[in-house]
Amino acid sequence: MTAQPPTRHIPADVVNLEDYARHAQACLPEATWAYLSGGAADELTLRANRQAWSDWQLHPRVLKPLQGAHLRTTLLGRPVAHPILLAPVAAHQLAHPDGEIGVAYAAAAQAAGLILSTQASTRLEAVSHAYLAEPDHGPLWMQLYLQADRGATLALVQRAETAGYEALVVTVDAPTHGARDRERRAQFQMPTGMQVNLDTPPLRANADVDAGWQSVLAQAPTWSDIAWLQTQTRLPILLKGVLHEDDARQAQQLGIQGLIVSNHGGRTLDTAVSTAWALPRIADAVGGDVCLLVDGGIRRGTDVLKALTLGAQAVLIGRPYVYALATAGALGVAHVLRLLQDELAIAMVLCGCATVADIHRGLLARP
């Protein structure tokens, strides 16, 4: 199956984020769909991420003053229009020819934070140029896989600094690829030249390829590499992929500015805990001293509200905006962001919260 011609309109039957998934599946090649939508092994964590948000119930308050309601908040001391960011996802041009440039325009137009993947299919300088051209843009962060050669890592960091990125997001939960059965059955192969910001592939071994396994894992990043990176950049550093309280505490002791509670969208370790389960435990472990974000399975404004209630300052979405990109290009991405903002505003008002500062854990009933 070949990809259908990309559309430039939003289908009439799309009214929420999940609606984009079936349209994306219909217009993408089977192998590409398997890569974008699949998870590791039996995909238990992939499904658990979504279910865990649904399991929490809201316990709303009524008759609260709601005048002047808004979604504004702060991240790393920076004012932002709303607490929704786009997660780093590799190779957007797999989904649509406009790729990361279309996503950048959409995110900037919706004042949404954007985290660009190291494995982007567009040079990081071109993405920042497109994104920063919008005066009301949100935060622009660069996701980083630490490379075997520290010189290569440092070159990426310096490029990001020069291009105007405001923070580094270091992915720490993927020293190896997960066993992605669905992707392997579909025989997906990343097209040659698709990842343009790296001279060599990221430092991650593949568990089903024995050659070089031990040598690659011997170079897998450790806490000492994070400490080294702190000495090499003026940018704040966030660690993405933290699920355990002890790791959160260690990052806090090291002076890391932010943590993203994530299990890589269920794409690495199957049966890992859901992010909605891990989030409140990590929030309790680090208190309010670390900027805390979460991703994984967020599909509704009520999910965003629950995440903020459980201690996150903002959320990331990944697959939904890629599905929207595949369906309707940049317009689809902007639509996803608008839908999620609108749903969050509705949920907040119906729970008696005029602002993000009004959100508290008492609004949740434990599953």
Dist CA 119 CA 121 (whole Å): 7
Dist CA 20 CA 11 (whole Å): 9
Tokens representing 292 are 């805390």
User: What is the sign of the dihedral through the CA atoms of 129, 130, 133 and 135?
Assistant: negative
Alpha helix positions (H), 208-310:
213-218, 223-230, 245-254, 275-286, 301-309
Active-site annotation holds for 264: yes
Dist CA 242 CA 282 (whole Å): 9
Cα–Cα distance list, 153 to 169, 171, 221, 250, 356 (Å): 13, 13, 12, 22, 36
Cα–Cα distance list, 96 to 27, 268, 302 (Å): 10, 25, 29
Q: Which residue has the tokens 């369906």?
A: 327
Q: Which residues of 206-241 are buried (b: 16+ CB within 10 A; e: fewer)?
A: eeeeeeeeeebeeebbeeebbeebbeebebbbbbbb
Q: 244, 264, 335, 360: which is the annotated catalytic residue? A: 264
Cα–Cα distance list, 226 to 148, 156, 306 (Å): 13, 15, 30
Element (H, E) at 141: strand 140-144
Dist CA 253 CA 247 (whole Å): 10
Q: Which residues are catalytic?
A: 264
